[in-house]
């Protein structure tokens, strides 16, 4: 069983008025599939809301604090809200200890677990926004996500591998890379995509991810490593 949620509230220095929102934010669909009849909701709607709140808060912060071109700010924002970054935030907060998961998902240490953690971070942001308001959501995002921006900028982690790979290939070959989905697997709520990046008909790199965008990102990253 997950740890008691008041321990998480204490760790986050938060006190929910409606504790069921916090529980919902940490309830994965698989737990309800395994425990039919429980009066609980899974966290996917809160995740949807939290994703929007997170993007708005990050966008507002970058617009207010940095006088940079739109494309550059877009890349910075993407580096802060991608699933890898949000999974790291969840790990830092030990959210995995509080998740309501099926027995199978609870034992899974694969890439899928990272995706679940990232979604739980977004759902938690949605719950904070609904229960405690936008200022508390901004405080959470500021404390645990925006604090990672200096490291991202210093190490240039915001550079988009798809854009970089396209620049390299156009400069060296005059060819624009294109991406094709090679395979889809898994249930609708947790699909895995396998995507190839091609120069004309030549396959240069293959990436996987829990969205087409993430798979394309990973394919371009691997392709760049081959070309460097």
Q: Is residue 109 scored above 70 in pLDDT?
A: no
Q: Is residue 206 scored above 80 in pLDDT?
A: yes
Predicted local confidence at residue 105, as pLDDT: 65
Q: Catalytic residue positions?
A: 51, 122
The answer to whether the pTM exceeds 0.85 is: no
Q: Is residue 106 scored above 70 in pLDDT?
A: no
Q: How many Å apart are CA 193 and CA 49, to the nearest integer? A: 24
pLDDT tens profile 125-163: 999 999 999 999 999 999 999 999 999 999 888 888 888
Domains of the chain in start order, with CATH, are: 5-154 (1.10.1520.10), 161-227 (3.30.160.20)
Q: How many Å apart are CA 27 and CA 52, to the nearest integer? A: 19
């Amino acid at each position: 069983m997950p740890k008691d949620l008041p321990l998480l509230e204490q760790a986050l220095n938060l006190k929910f008025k409606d504790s069921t929102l916090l529980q919902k934010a940490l309830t994965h669909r698989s737990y309800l599939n395994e425990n039919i009849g429980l009066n609980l909701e899974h966290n996917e709607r809160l995740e949807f809301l939290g994703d929007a709140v997170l993007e708005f808060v990050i966008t507002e912060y970058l617009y207010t604090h940095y006088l940079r071109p739109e494309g550059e700010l877009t890349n910075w924002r993407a580096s802060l809200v991608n699933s890898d970054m949000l999974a790291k935030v969840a790990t830092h907060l030990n959210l995995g200890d509080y998740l309501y998961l099926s027995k199978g998902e609870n034992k899974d240490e694969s890439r899928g677990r990272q995706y679940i953690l990232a979604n739980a971070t977004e759902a938690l942001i949605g719950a904070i926004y609904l229960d405690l308001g936008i200022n508390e959501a901004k405080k959470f995002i500021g404390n645990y996500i925006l604090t990672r921006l200096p490291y991202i900028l210093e190490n240039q982690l915001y550079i988009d591998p798809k854009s970089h790979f396209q620049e390299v290939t156009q400069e060296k070959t005059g060819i624009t890379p294109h991406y094709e989905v090679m395979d889809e697997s898994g249930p609708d709520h947790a699909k895995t995509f396998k995507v190839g990046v091609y120069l004309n008909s030549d396959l240069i790199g293959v990436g996987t991810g829990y969205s087409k965008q993430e798979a394309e990102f990973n394919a371009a990253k691997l392709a760049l490593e081959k070309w460097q």
